Amino acid sequence: MALVAMFLLSCSSGKKPDEQAFEDSLDSTLNKGASIDEEVIGSILDQIPSPLEISVLLEKSGIKYNADLLNSPDNLPRYNSNYKMALNLGIYGTDLGYTNIYGQNQSGIKYLASIKSLANQLNIGQFFDIETIGRLATNSKNLDSLLLITTQNFNTINHYLQQQNRSNLSVLLLTGGWIEAMQITCQVAASNPSHSELREKIGEQKITLEQILLLFSFYEKDENMASLLKDLKELEAAFSKINITYTYNESSMEVVDGVAVIKDNSTSTIEITDEDVRNIMSKTNSIRNKIIS
Amino acid sequence: MVGQCDADNLSNACIPKLTSGFNFLKSYKIDGLGGAKDKVEYSYVFTKGTQYMINLCAGGNGPDGLVVSLYDSQRNKVASSKVNDQFISAIAYPCNATGIYYIQYTFDGSATYCGGSALGFKR
């Protein structure tokens, strides 16, 4: 009951963002003819992998659920600017995916309420089918449908923001989601030092970070994004010693039950040291703490 | 006169056709503008140890000449849904090398130059 009340309260607040500077600054940049190519930005945004992949990896690896890794949904009142709201919408989206994958439905409903509130304040709440998601979240048998509709809603929001020339918010949303997934992975890897796949997972984020930095380069004139870009460049430095080697070998395929099943003969190796992991974790936590504070 | 391409609906229709066990990631619109475009391309970071599925929907039975091909970041072809001149409606790709991959849709004798596609993953 308390949860329902909290949910209704957060959904009906209708509070307007108290800071328009972020979008205003972008608008003024656009007016000055800065080259922000929405199509290019959209194609890069599309490349960013879903944080859900990390949560599924953790769950399938037998790693136990840990709510302490997540940003509390109770931190919602801290986020009053569009900049902070978009970043934390991404963070809560990752946290919701994590709770869903682990079947932590009660926690998921709390995250849902905070997500809906942030989405409403960013004027994208109409794309979040909170009623359906809330209903699905009450039964663990609905996991597939729950994951599907949540992913669809976030995809729709991202496409809508791009269509509305608000890709800056889409970039922040995806960056927040990525930082949270990074933070979770780093913390879990630190607690499970022998889990080589987690270490590799951290190392391979070098590729995604490069794409995120490319996205931020379009918004260097925005004060908030420039500040985050500076932090992300420091994170990039922590990744600098990581070596990713790719070897291409022709693949083969066979048709099984109407599906072309590929046998991938290419390989990639990731060289990452304990020190690299420590440096990446430290910088990731620092960035994440600035975002959620 | 080529009819309007409802790629949005076709891409949505493709989502439930992902094989059970795959988690939905993205849906893609494939609009060849009645033949004016010879390919439609998207990209995504695939990760080692994850299996991906990409399917095709063209409204009727079968993919109507739609072909999905996967290229690695160096533009080497790693997968195609056209196998021995047979058009297949889905490819399953157990990724062994992390990197950016290009998902390219082409039209090979397509009547409508229109379709949708969904990308899913499982561990």
Domains with residue ranges and CATH for chain B? 7-122 (2.60.120.380)
Q: Contact A272/A205 with Cβ under 8 angstroms?
A: no
Summarised one tens digit per residue, pLDDT across range A281-290 is 999 999 999 9
Q: Tell me the C-alpha distance between B105 and A290, whole Å.
A: 41
Residues of A with Cβ-Cβ distance to B91 under 8 angstroms? 253, 259-262
- Residue in the structure block whose two tokens are 């040291």: A273
Q: Tell me the C-alpha distance between A109 and A73, whole Å.
A: 10
Nearest chain B residue to A248, by CA: B76
**Complex confidence, ipTM:** 0.94
Radius of gyration of chain A (CA): 20
Nearest chain A residue to B70, by CA: A262
* Cβ contact, residue pair B25, A50, below 8 Å: yes
How far is the alpha carbon of A248 from chain B, nearest alpha carbon, in Å?
A: 8
Q: Tell me the C-alpha distance between A198 and A206, whole Å.
A: 14
* Cβ contact, residue pair A46, B43, below 8 Å: yes
* Cβ contact, residue pair B42, A53, below 8 Å: no
Summarised one tens digit per residue, pLDDT across range B61-100 is 889 999 999 999 999 999 999 999 999 999 999 999 999 9
* Cβ contact, residue pair A155, B26, below 8 Å: yes
Radius of gyration of chain B (CA): 14
Any idea where the domains of chain A sit in the sequence?
2-292
pTM (2 d.p.): 0.90
Summarised one tens digit per residue, pLDDT across range B9-35 is 999 999 999 999 999 999 999 999 999
CB-facing half-sphere around the CA of A255: CA atoms within 13 A: 12
